[in-house]
Amino acid sequence: MAESKAIESLLQWPADLLDRIVALLSKVGIDLAPLWLQLFLLVLVLALLVPVVKRVRARKKKDRLPLVAAAVLALVSVGVIIGIAENWTTPGRVAGSVAFERPADVRVALLDFRDMTISTGSGQVDSSSGRFALHYSPLMDGRARKLRISAAGCKPLDAALGRAQLRAASEGLWNYQCVTG
């Protein structure tokens, strides 16, 4: 159990690093979808890897770069590929039910790590059962981090969405109560 958690957290770092870069870029006005940044990084790292490998294997000792430089670049490219694969295989559907006194007024949305809406559609829930199904593109927008539940005149509720929860694609139940202010 502890081992699988360790592996999971190890696999998590490329995604976390990517999130930080995306956040940093958006702060300076460059709003990129995570996928474009991942592809850009991959191309960049692979382009760097070729001359670095050549210099690692250079004949003259003074031209040689330490092996660790190539290893780092290789690791970064593997990390980016893992990140893309991870998002590619994450289901793009999040479904569940919201328990609320006025289901007709409820709206749901998926948020990314910057709290920006990434789900499409109106976000309405079934007014008789409270069921909803949201769709988004994990490959393009990255993994959904939160489910936002809102209703007119009420404070929105943000519920965290775990990686395992998204992968299991199980339908959750969220209780929502109207809190004003």
Partner 1 sequence: MRHWLAALALGALVAIPARAQTITGTVRAAEPLGGVTVLVEVNSRRLTTVTTDSNGKFSFALAPGTGRSADVLISFTREGFVPATRLDTPENAAARPLSIVLLPRTGEGAISDDIKKVLGPAVTHVGTGPLMFVPYRLPADAAIGSVGELNQRLRVQLQRLILTHVQLSLPDADARDIVLVQLNVEANDLERLRTYGEFVNALAMVSGLGIADGGTQTIELASSFVIIPRAQQFEPPILTIVDTVPVAGIGRVALDQRMSKEWGRATVIALAVRDLRAAQSLAGSQKRAALEKTQRFLVAELSDDGANDQLSARKLQQLLGQVRRELGQ
- Under the rule (CB under 8 A), what is the footprint of partner 1? 93, 95, 101-104, 119-122, 124-129, 131-136, 153, 178-181
Burial 137-170 (b: 16+ CB within 10 A, else e): bbbebbbbbbbbbbbeebeebeeebeeeebeeee
Shortest spacing between CB 132 and partner 1, in angstroms:
7
Which is closer to partner 1, CB of 4 or CB of 122? 122
> Which of these, 123, 130, 128, lies nearest to 107 by C-alpha position?
123
Shortest spacing between CB 46 and partner 1, in angstroms:
34
Dump the DSSP string for 83-149. HHHHHHHS-SEEEEEEE-S-GGGEEEEEE-TTS-B---S--B--TTT-EEEEE--HHHH----EEEE
Asked if 176 and 106 count as a contact pair (C-beta separation under 8 A), the reply is yes
Which is closer to partner 1, CB of 125 or CB of 161? 125
Shortest spacing between CB 137 and partner 1, in angstroms:
11
Which is closer to partner 1, CB of 41 or CB of 149? 149
Which is closer to partner 1, CB of 82 or CB of 95? 95
Shortest spacing between CB 108 and partner 1, in angstroms:
11
